[in-house]
Amino acid sequence: KSKIASLNLSTIVTIYDETENLNKFYMEADIYLSTSTHEGMSNTIMEALTYSLPVVCTNAGDSSSLVIDGYNGYLCQTKNVVKISECLHRLITDQTLRIDMSQKAYEHISNNFSISKSFSKYNELIRKFGVEE
């Protein structure tokens, strides 16, 4: 927060902590950034995609199943600050790209990670192993 203030970016960069209303954050945001070095299946990335946000994230954990590089966001190697910055810059400066990725973000999460899709995949798995329903 102090670095953002020292660079006079406080008017364009907002950092929310976990005690604040995240729905408001997602609704006001244009891009979601996740720089995790270790991750599982990221709930926050799934939430961002549900709010139609293009995502710039690191290739940590299962992020690659949520973010398809160049489709609904950008997937970068962990700690690659240059690539992360380039991807953010691309989305910030190209409104058409940002809107296109926003639409694809929601499309990808709803087509692949909805409750009905998860239920269907679970039933498929049960049938594959011959377990009775």
The pLDDT tens digits for 82-93 are 999 999 999 999
- Contact present, 26 and 52 (Cβ < 8 Å): no
Q: Is the pLDDT of residue 19 over 60?
A: no
Q: Is the pLDDT of residue 79 over 60?
A: yes
Q: Which residues pair with 33 in a beta bridge?
A: 56
For range 43-57, the mean pLDDT:
96
**Least confident segment among 16-25, 44-53, 121-130:** 16-25
- Contact present, 54 and 69 (Cβ < 8 Å): no
Specify the amino acid at residue 88.
Answer: L
Q: Is the pLDDT of residue 16 over 90?
A: no
Spatial CB neighbours of 71, under 8 Å, sequence gap ≥ 6 = 101, 104, 108
